[in-house]
Amino acid sequence: MNTTADRPDDWDVVVATLYPNFAAIDQIDAKAATISTKHYGSREAMLEAAKKRSEIREVVASKLAREVMPK
């Protein structure tokens, strides 16, 4: 829940993907390509599905945040 909206049309629900460290982010592309190919069967089918999803969604923002845990 966004309790500090910056503007009237700001988001109210967020979807976050958490990673244990920055090295895990470097491996995302290869893993995602393998999973997508298995799921959709072809690049064309994957692009068509992405096109359909973009018709019903609006990306408001994309941010990379880092949590610091003091010892």
| pLDDT score at 52 | 92
DSSP secondary structure code for residue 21 in this structure: S
pLDDT of the residue at 39: 92
Query: Across the 71 residues of the chain, what is the mean pLDDT of every consecutive 10-residue run?
Result: 68 79 85 88 89 85 77 82
- For the chain, what are the domain ranges? 23-56
- pLDDT for the residue numbered 1: 58
Q: How far apart are CA 38 and CA 32, in angstroms?
A: 10
The pTM of the full predicted model, rounded to 2 decimals, is 0.45
Are the CB atoms for 8 and 57 separated by under 8 Å?
A: no
What is the pLDDT at residue 48? 92
The per-residue pLDDT for 51 is 92
